[in-house]
Amino acid sequence: MSEQNPAAPIAGRDGAIVAWILYILSIPSANVLVLVGLVVAYITRGSATGLAAQHVEAQIKLFWSVFWISAILWVLVAVSAVASAFLIGIPFLLLFGLLLLLVSIWFTVKSVLGLLALLNDRPA
């Protein structure tokens, strides 16, 4: 009967931790480090196993969902900015700007919770 050593490193765990940390640092770095975190997640994706693989997949999914939501909101901000010249877009500009801020906060909170889950050996 073979027992797994609980102290044995899980393949890809370090890469997943680094990617979560880079995601968390995305706001202070003007979202530059989130791209580095995405690259780390994609590199780690091939070698990660078990729980680490689940976290890496969650990181990639989180990035792309936030990317597309933010892209749509930025288009709406641009349309609202043009409409603000006619004074009808100002409330929408404020609304979409607030939604962009909330998406950034949600991304950061989700990243912190993901890192804590990985450190406590829980699924993402």
Residue 6 placed within a domain: no
Residue 83 placed within a domain: yes
CB 52 within 8 A of CB 44: yes
Residue 46 placed within a domain: yes
Among residues of the chain, what percentage have pLDDT more than 70?
93
Q: Judge whether residue 9 has pLDDT over 70.
A: no
Q: How far apart are CA 68 and CA 63, in angstroms?
A: 9
Residue 2 placed within a domain: no
pLDDT, tens digit, 9 for 90 and up, residues 54-78: 999 999 999 999 999 999 999 999 9
5-19, 26-40, 48-62: least confidently modelled range: 5-19
CB 101 within 8 A of CB 70: no
Segment 22-32 shows an average pLDDT of 88
How is 2-48 classified by DSSP, letter by letter?
A: ----TTSPPTTHHHHHHHHHHHHTTTTTTTHHHHHHHHHHHHHHTT-
Residue 106 placed within a domain: yes
Query: 27: pLDDT confidence band, cut at 50, 70 and 90?
Result: confident
Domain span at 41? 13-120
Tell me how many domains the chain contains: 1
Residue 1 placed within a domain: no
Query: 2: pLDDT confidence band, cut at 50, 70 and 90?
Result: very low
- The whole-number pLDDT of residue 89 equals 83
Residue 7 placed within a domain: no
Q: Which of 108, 18, 14, 16 is nearest to 55 (CA)?
A: 16
Residue 112 placed within a domain: yes
Task: Copy the structure tokens of residue 1.
Answer: 């009967």
- State how far the alpha carbon of 111 is from the alpha carbons of 44, 52, 58, 60, in Å: 17, 14, 10, 11
Which pTM value belongs to this model? Answer: 0.84
Q: Judge whether residue 95 has pLDDT over 60.
A: yes
